[in-house]
Every structure is written in structure tokens, then in C-alpha cells.
Amino acid sequence: QKEVEQNSGPLSVPEGAIASLNCTYSDRGSQSFFWYRQYSGKSPELIMFIYSNGDKEDGRFTAQLNKASQYVSLLIRDSQPSDSATYLCAAEARNQFYFGTGTSLTVIP
Amino acid sequence: SQTIHQWPATLVQPVGSPLSLECTVEGTSNPNLYWYRQAAGRGLQLLFYSVGIGQISSEVPQNLSASRPQDRQFILSSKKLLLSDSGFYLCAWSVDQNTEAFFGQGTRLTVV
């Protein structure tokens, strides 16, 4: 069983719509969760982190964490073509970061 | 502010040749350091992590090794590269295991 699992997509949304990205993790001991954005050929860059159950908002981005369901999500409001990228979910476990395989998002103008 | 440097950006090496990739972090002390590999179209695979000088943990058996000769320096090495070693190698650092990791620019390695 993989530590972190994501739907690989691809996910396509029209410009201005809400993009919803989902992630599940296997280690109930994980305390910290992260969303990264990776453009093609580039290294991942951090978008958000979340430690507590519930929602955390930062601009157009909202991260949601449900520890009982071992579920993390990222909502992108008012999606822009520049949001087109692969989104990686990560969870901390056993002193390391484990990454999902990423979800490819395309925002259609 | 903290910065991470990773070089080279691209590398083409023949099968059987050695490898040395270097990563340094500035602006912080005693960071956790990580080496990841990302094969084409795949996720990030953790190769090594280090919580201090000389302390290296390996996640997967392979012909790669890592060393941390100084607090903010992390080196990935191989004595003999395989075709399967091709990929995008990423160095990252974090304050500790519970805080976010920051990545270097990556090294795209092609073994021919």
C-alpha cells in the first residue's frame, strides 16, 4: 500500500471554475500534510501546508484535512491557465515526507 | 533567508560512469536533507534522508549512496551508473520532519 495516493488525472477545468484535487494517506500517525505544484521540467514548489482538521484558506487555495478519513484535498477557486501543472500531495510519516504521484491539472481558457 | 543550491542542472553520463551530485543549503543550521528521484511521468521517490552530519538513512536498495560531510552539504553518488538511474534528481531541506520541505532546482540525469 502506498503511503500517499492521488488520482493521477488528467483533470481539466474551464478558466474561472473550481478545481478539486484529492489525496488519501495510509499512516494514521501522520501529522503534517502539504500540497506542492510542479510545472513541467521544474522542481516542486510549496503551495500550502495543513496540520489541523478542517479547512485552511490562502488566497484562491483552500486545503482541507479530515484525519478520521485520512483524506486531504486542495480546492483552487477561479482557476487560471497559469494553474495548469501537476499537483503533488505529501504527508509526513516516520521522519520523512512521502509524496503521491501527482494529479495533472489543465485549465482551459 | 534560506536558499538551496543544487548542481548541475543537466547531466548526460555513459553507463558505468561515476556520479556525484551536490546540494548545499544556506541560511539555516542542522537542516533535514533529502534526495528524491522522479522518473518520467512518475512521482517522487525518496532515496536518502539525513537528520545530521554523517547520519544517512536509505529508503531503497540501489547502486546509489549519499554522504553529508558538512552540516549543509548533501552529496549523491554512484560508482557505476545504470540506464535505470536516469531521472530527475531533487535535493530538498526542511527544518524538521513536521515542517515543509523546500526543493532545489533539480538535476536531470540521462544515462546513455
What letter represents residue A8's amino acid?
A: S
Under 8 Å between Cβ of A34 and A100: no
Say what the pLDDT of residue B4 is: 94
Rounded to 5°, angle at Cα B81 from B68 and B52: 10
Between B41 and A42, the higher pLDDT residue: A42
Question: Which of B10, B33, B44 best tests the A interface by mutation, with the highest count of A CBs <10 A?
Answer: B44
Distance of CA B93 to the CA centre of its chain: 10
Decide if B51 and A88 are in contact by the 8 Å CB cutoff.
Answer: no
pLDDT of residue B96: 79
pLDDT above 80 (res B13):
yes
pLDDT, tens digit, 9 for 90 and up, residues B77-92? 999 999 999 999 999 9
- Chain B nearest-CA residue for A10: B41
pLDDT of residue A23: 95
Residue A86 has pLDDT above 70, yes or no: yes
Which of A27, A97, A99, A104 is the best substitution to test chain B (most B C-beta atoms within 10 A)?
A97
Q: What is the DSSP string of B24-61?
A: EEES-SS-EEEEEEE-TTS-EEEEEEEEETTEEEESS-
| pLDDT (0 to 100) of residue B59 | 80
Closest approach of chain B CAs to the CA of A109, in angstroms? 24
* CA distances in angstroms from B97 to A26, B50, B92, B94, listed in the order given: 17, 11, 12, 7
pLDDT for the residue B90: 97
Place of cell 489543465: A106
pLDDT at A1: 62
Report the DSSP beta bridge partners of residue A87.
Answer: A37, A103
Name the more confident of A101 and A7: A101
The per-residue pLDDT for B40 is 75
Tell me the CA distances in angstroms from A54 to A4, A88, B92, one per residue in order.
19, 20, 28
Cβ separation B101–A97 shorter than 8 A: yes
The mean pLDDT of B1-14, rounded to a whole number, is 92
Q: Which residue has the cell 529508503?
A: B59
Q: What is the pLDDT at residue A44?
A: 96
Q: How far is A97 from chain B (nearest CA, A)?
A: 7
Per-residue confidence (pLDDT) for residue B17, from 0 to 100: 97
DSSP state of A29: T
* β pairing state of A61-66 and A54-58: antiparallel
The larger pLDDT score, comparing residue A95 to residue B4, is at: B4
A31 and B98 within 8 Å at the Cβ level: the answer is yes
Count of alpha carbons within 13 angstroms of residue A88, beta-carbon side: 25
Whole-number pLDDT of residue A74: 97
A102–B43: do the CB atoms touch at under 8 Å?
Answer: yes
Interface test with B, best of A96, A103, A104 (most B CBs within 10 A): A96
CB B86 within 8 A of CB B10: no
Q: What pLDDT sits at residue B61?
A: 64
Q: Dihedral sign, CA of B8, A85, A49, A21?
A: negative
Spatial distance between the Cα atoms of A4 and B43, rounded to a whole number of angstroms: 10
For B15-74, the pLDDT digits (tens) are: 999 999 999 999 999 999 999 999 876 788 889 999 999 899 888 767 899 999 999 999
Of the partner residues B43, B92, B105, the one whose CB lies closest to the CB of residue A100: B43
Task: At A2, give phi and psi (nearest 5°).
Answer: -75, 150
